[in-house]
Amino acid sequence: MKPTKFNNLAPEDADVMLELSPILGITVAKRLTKGGDWKFYIENAQGEKRILKIIKTEERYKYETGDRKDPVKWRNYHARFKQLINTTNIIATQFVGDGTFREGTMSYELTTWIDGEDLVDALPRLSPAQQYAVGVKVGQTLRELHKLPPPWEGLMPWDESYTKNVQGKLQKYAEKPTKTRGEDLLTKYLSENMGLLKGRQRAFPHGDHNTENTILMPNGEIGLIDFAALGADPWIDFWEFPHNVGENPHYNSGEINGYFDGKPPQEFFPLLAFYVANGYMGWYPQHADTATGWFDDMKNPVPSWYYSFAQATRDDIPEIVDLYRSVIGMPGCTWSEDYPNKDTAEYDINKGWLYALKKQDKIAGVVSIGDFGELGDLKWKPKNPCELARIGVHPEFQKQGIGTLLLQHCFEIAKNQGFDGIRILVAKTNTTALALYEKNGFERCGEVNRFDIDFYCYQIALEE
């Protein structure tokens, strides 16, 4: 009679577990369904948790080394990976062991397990602010990874190697009998921007960076799994993540801003568009129109889903004034043509108080934050708070979590400037704003009448 130890698995999966159980001591097995790999979560008799990957032996080394028949190089890669990753604080899955079965035709690989939830599953249940915060953590983790040298020495210069890769795709597309407008735009961008690769250096990228290979751990930390890189321009790690989670502006923007501390260099976005274009031509040509849509038919390298946050400049003033005026007359809004206005914006910019949150190149929200000295006569819990004022979201971007994103940025600004809290007056009639502040941890601590308007006083104490 056939054993029933793995009856919770599909018959084909159960057969494999039964074959490997005497070798690996498997007591628990669960199929991991994401991706195209044959992978399982297993536990052994010692209670150790592992990821078990099954693959045809002839395919085993293809992605790790670029050579299907070089197990020595493959093991050296994992040894070097472990040596490098252990010099960091990065939490990453690591190689444990391997072997073959079925007369050597099939291979298995064991790696460590990281407790948590795949980010692709976790993100949909998180608020926009939480998605952004997780994105920042992932970006910071990726930045630490990219500080490592490539795991191999003597590799071909990156621009030379990747140019060959791109040219191969362009040639293949030229020979394709049927073409689409989206693919035409992607290949045109690739052929016209090869020079972007010049001078790019190899480092230690993930190689298959996406939310399926990123773990959100119970303590909020980030774990990385399924590395697949030999050494490349680290920025290539960004090409796949927008496809993996779709147009998630909060997570995507958080990851980029976390990686660059909120200030991506000028050369980043053109290269991002280049790597997205080449990646989609190779893996997702059926979604070429989606990719080109992010970049305005490849005319704007800053993707349509990207949010930036920075101090406003004088060049932003006309658009900021338009935003101020766009919300006049909305329920609960106490603003008028006289306040806030151009003079208000100029004054706040000169003081370094005014910040703008932009989606692509358009201002979605603004906020002024600083030590205005306007609320010092009121009693507050924080000993050294700053003040928040003139926060507004353009009607086009309302109900998209922009207000919460603005507040999250304000929390960071306040802490970085040494303040221990934030205080603000909110008109009693502005129910939308009242809900926003209460949802984000502000507490009502009094009320006051200013400028013939009844306000509630709100405050939040910031943790170290």
Residue matched to tokens 């909120």? 262
Residue matched to tokens 């608020």? 127
**Could you state, in order of their start, the residue ranges of all structural domains in the chain?**
11-112, 117-305, 308-461
The pLDDT value recorded for residue 24 is 93
| Residue 385: φ, ψ to 5° | -85, 155
What residue type is 355 in one-letter code?
A: Y
Beta-bridge partners for 426: 456
Neighbours of 289 (CB within 10 A): 15
* CATH T-level fold of 11-112: Phosphorylase Kinase; domain 1 (3.30.200)
The pLDDT value recorded for residue 399 is 87
The low-confidence residues of the chain, meaning pLDDT below 50, are: 1-3, 63-68
Taking the alpha carbons of 108, 112, 117, 120 in that order, is the dihedral positive or negative?
Answer: negative
Least Cα distance to 185 among 285, 306, 305 occurs for: 285
Element housing 421 (H / E): strand 421-427
Task: List the structure tokens of 199.
Answer: 């001078």
What does the alpha-carbon distance between residue 126 and residue 146 come to, in Å, rounded to a whole number? Answer: 27
* CATH T-level fold of 308-461: Aminopeptidase (3.40.630)
The pLDDT value recorded for residue 2 is 41
Residue matched to tokens 């999250």? 408
Pairing assessment for the beta strands 91-92 and 222-224 based on DSSP bridges: parallel
The pLDDT value recorded for residue 64 is 42
What does the alpha-carbon distance between residue 257 and residue 264 come to, in Å, rounded to a whole number? Answer: 7
Least Cα distance to 82 among 144, 151, 140 occurs for: 151
Task: List the structure tokens of 204.
Answer: 């230690």
- What would the CATH number be for the domain defined by 117-305? 3.90.1200.10
CA distances from 81 to 51, 152, 227, 309 (A): 17, 10, 9, 35
Helix (H, G, I), strand (E, B) or coil at 119: helix
The pLDDT value recorded for residue 63 is 45
The pLDDT value recorded for residue 230 is 72
The pLDDT value recorded for residue 127 is 83
pTM, full prediction: 0.84
Beta-bridge partners for 247: none
Compute CA 260 distance to the chain's CA centroid, rounded to the nearest angstrom: 12
Are the C-beta atoms of 291 and 182 separated by less than 8 Å? yes
What residue type is 376 in one-letter code?
A: G
